[in-house]
Amino acid sequence: MQHTSPQVPHPQAEQNARAYDRIAHCYDGVYTSVLTHAGNAVLARWIERHLGPVDEKELLDMGCGTGLLPEILRVHPDRYVGLDPSVGMLDRARGKFPHLRLVQAYQEDTGFEDASFDSVASLFGVFSYSPEPERVVAEIGRVLKPGGKYLVMALGSRFCRNPKMECCNRHGVTSVFTCWSKSKLKRMFSTLGPCKAFSFSFAPGSTMLHPLLTRTGLRLESALLGPVLGGLFRYQIVTGVRS
Ligand SMILES: C[S@@+](CC[C@H](N)C(=O)[O-])C[C@H]1O[C@@H](n2cnc3c(N)ncnc32)[C@H](O)[C@@H]1O
């Protein structure tokens, strides 16, 4: 699909991108623990449950960063596009995935034509960095084909307690994000069509319990964990279909 270089949508979006340039060198280094990998494995399953097999779709990875999505799921080189405004983050992703299409652009104005993608994934709080969230929702709706699906992960209200944010704090990234409640996120995305929202945590309870629960035939769902680990959720996820 065609891509035209978009304008910088908002001065704050530009500042956020430059802040990510500054932390690109240490970004991957803070996400190496066993818990992180366990959480990513859970997330990968959720992504495919909601978007379907991602290697069969035209997929836009909004705010791809250093390339987490192609690390945790197999993507098709001709059907995957990673988008990020940070050259530093993109350079890291290019080092790992030289065969993938990675473009410098913003979630507020992606530069792609209408109805270019079957799926949009936005992982780990990219949405929270937008100073114009309504514009991002509209842009997701615009680039998705009718019936296309999205999964957007926003920072939840407990996010700031994450000790892993030290690196980001030092480089001035944390002052600019918006934390979202499940209901606010759902309200926002319901403009595109039917959607649902749920919580996702990297708390030891959820990530370590998951393999255990799976082995015993139980499924780890937010419905199950919500009441138990409500205070520990760091992220809110909204998924839906573009009408
Ligand atoms: C927390 S990182 C997540 C990266 C990746 N999705 C992951 O899960 O590892 C947030 C990413 O959002 C990107 N970002 C910040 N502002 C953005 C914007 N306006 N549009 C698209 N991406 C943006 C940053 O450059 C950074 O790569």
What local confidence, expressed as pLDDT, does residue 186 receive? Answer: 95
For the cut 90, the answer to whether the pLDDT of residue 72 exceeds it is yes
- Asked if residue 214 has pLDDT above 90, the reply is no
62 C-alpha to ligand 1 centroid (Å): 7
Q: Ligand 1 center to residue 8 CA distance, Å?
A: 15
- Report H helices in the chain: 11-27, 34-51, 68-72, 87-96, 133-143, 166-170, 182-189, 204-215, 222-229
Report the distance separating Cα 28 and Cα 31, nearest Å. 5
pLDDT for residue 207: 43
Q: Quote the ligand 1 centre to 72 CA distance (angstroms).
A: 17
Q: Residue 104 Cα, ligand 1 centroid: separation in angstroms?
A: 11
- CB half-sphere exposure, 26, CA atoms < 13 A: 13
Q: Does position 212 have pLDDT exceeding 60, yes or no?
A: no
The one-letter amino acid code at 3 reads H
Task: Give the model's pLDDT for residue 176.
Answer: 63
Rounded to the nearest integer, the mean pLDDT of the chain is: 83
Residue owning the nearest CA to atom 25 of ligand 1? 86
**Which residue's entry shows tokens 């997330």?**
43
Judge whether residue 1 has pLDDT over 90: no
Q: What is the mean pLDDT of residues 89-117?
A: 97
- How confident is the model over 181-211, as pLDDT tens digits? 889 999 999 999 999 998 877 544 444 444 4
Overall pTM > 0.85: yes
Task: Say how many Å lie between the first and final Cα of the chain, rounded.
Answer: 21
pLDDT category of residue 135 using cuts at 50, 70 and 90? very high
Q: Which two tokens stand for residue 115?
A: 């109805």
pLDDT of amino acid 19: 84
> Range with the lowest mean pLDDT among 28-42, 117-131, 165-179?
165-179
Domain 11-241 grouped into CATH 3.40.50.150 = yes
Other CB atoms within a 10 A radius of the CB of residue 2 amount to 7
Residue with CA closest to ligand 1 atom 26: 65
Question: Which of 104, 126, 169, 200 maximizes ligand 1 atoms within 8 Å of its Cβ, making it the mutation to test the pocket?
Answer: 126
Higher pLDDT, 120 or 9: 120
Residues with a CB atom less than 6 Å from ligand 1: 13, 16-17, 20, 62-65, 68, 84-86, 89, 106-108, 123-126, 129-130
Ligand 1: atom nearest CA of 86 is 25
**How confident is the model at residue 179, as a pLDDT?**
82
Going by the DSSP 8-state scheme, the letter that residue 65 receives in this structure is: T
234 compared with 49, residue with greater pLDDT: 49
Q: What is the pLDDT of residue 233?
A: 53
Instruction: Please give the share of the chain, as a percent, with pLDDT higher than 90.
Output: 53
Domain assignments of the chain as residue spans, ordered by start: 11-241
Can you give the three-state secondary structure of 146-191, one letter per residue? EEEEEEEEEECCCHHHCHHHHHHHHCCCHHHCCCCCHHHHHHHHHH
Rounded Cα–Cα distance for residues 182 and 146 (Å): 24
- For residue 122, list its beta bridge partners: 152
- Distance CA(92)–CA(27), nearest Å, equals 10
Backbone angles phi, psi at 43, to 5 degrees: -60, -40
Beta strand pairing call for 117-122 and 59-62: parallel
Rg over alpha carbons for the chain, rounded to the nearest Å, is: 17
**CA of 9, closest atom in ligand 1:** 19
Look at residue 156 in the predicted model and tell me its pLDDT.
82
